Structure 1
């Protein structure tokens, strides 16, 4: 079943990122891999699954504003072919302004593209009362940004992992199995959008 068939639009078709290319995973503790060892963090798993050189640009506790501040140096240093943007969870946890978070995430995506990288946006769950009961859904902001900027979006990755107690190390972080599951799902999206060659 094509998840976007009913939306009247196809996901943007991307250029395949060649094997051995540098990919930057920008994010917070879910990217850095809190709750598991460094080699179990999702960027390390993605590197194994994709054949890319995946740079772990995750810093625990980072907000979208802090990630935006770090981005120019990361782009200059690594010159990635693709930037995977998964940031915003700490903004939600700290009840920061959604409009400010949206502006930061949008700017991150635009800056990465301006530097010549392709961008994949990763939806982060909205932390609500239902989330504490294990019912997580993506924050609507990510769908809006992906639609506005015509970016591919990885949906329900973290929402699916963090809703399953067996895949978590605590309430807001995955364990090694959770990061593995997330990376596997990410690979499916990367293939579906054409960023990763192969079926």
Structure 2
């Protein structure tokens, strides 16, 4: 019985990993990546040429649209996204929202709902999604928010977690308490690039 359970478990793991892999369509040279978010996407704290979307474009050789807006909440993102998704060349959206919701003490259930809505909007346009988690920022430091794992699982999209917490937890990598500096954004771009390769978007 023990060996049967082990065999069944291994089969389930195999099919889960296979399904996750086959759901991802590799990006072609003519495809565009939409980097959608707030000031962390815009590159607040450095120049636009040193923002993570700009650096990611150099790493991938692909067009990466910097659609970050300073100070924007996830609800505002929901309202802004549909127009951006009309670009037929966009095949992947990198979604990074939550910082301003947290700072403004907005409902975390609303943040989760808005993230799911934005992912579903992209899916309706056959655009793939990579989600980036934002840490909770408080007087006690940085802590993970379970809602990003929940959104990733429920919407079946890959998640990069911990990257911003690691950067913002290092004084040498940030321009202020909530934004990376040029080196921080460089590390962010490199980690995203690695994730694109690991998930099969890039060869």
| TM-score, reference length from structure 2 | 0.87
Quote the offset at 1:18 in angstroms.
1.5
Q: How many Å apart are 1:189 and its aligned residue?
A: 1.2
1:86 Cα deviation from its structure 2 partner? 0.3
Shift of 1:39: 0.3
Does residue 168 of structure 2 align to residue 158 of structure 1?
no
Find out whether 1:12 has 2:30 as its counterpart: no
For residue 47 of structure 2, the aligned residue among 37, 49, 53 is 37
Compare CA radii of gyration and give the structure with the larger one. Answer: 2
Q: 2:195 aligns with which of 172, 189, 192?
A: 189
Aligned residues: 186
Instruction: Measure, in 2, the Cα distance between the counterparts of 1:32 and 1:80.
Output: 18
Runs of at least 4 residues off by over 6 Å: none
Contact 2:31-2:89 within 8 A present in 1 as well: no
Deviation at residue 186 of structure 1 after TM alignment: 0.8
CA shift digits 1:42-76 (9 cap, x unpaired): 00000000111000010000000001100000111
Q: Structure 1 residue 79: deviation in Å? A: 4.4
Unaligned runs of 5+ residues in structure 2 are 1-12
Residue among 92, 96, 103 paired with 2:102: 92
Q: Secondary structure at the match of 1:12?
A: helix
| Equivalent pair of 1:27/1:59 in contact (CA under 8 Å) | yes
The answer to whether 1:48 aligns with 2:49 is: no
1:68 aligns with 2:78: yes
Q: Which residue of 1 aligns with 2:91?
A: 81
Cα displacement (A) at 1:170: 0.4
2: CA distance between counterparts of 1:78 and 1:57?
16
**Structure 1 length normalisation: TM-score?**
0.89
**Is the Cα–Cα contact under 8 Å of residues 137 and 156 in structure 1 kept in the other structure?**
no
Aligned residue among 149, 164, 168 for 2:174: 168
Matches of 1:137 and 1:98 in 2, distance apart? 14
Distance 2:170 2:194 in 1: 20
Distance apart, 1:129 and its partner CA: 3.1
Shift of 1:78: 5.8
The equivalent of 2:37 in structure 1 is: 27
Secondary structure of 2:105's match?
A: coil
Pair 1:32–1:118, CA change in 2 (3 A): same
Distance in 2, matches of 1:86 and 1:138, equals 14
Whole-Å Cα distance in 1 between the matches of residues 192 and 42 of structure 2?
A: 16
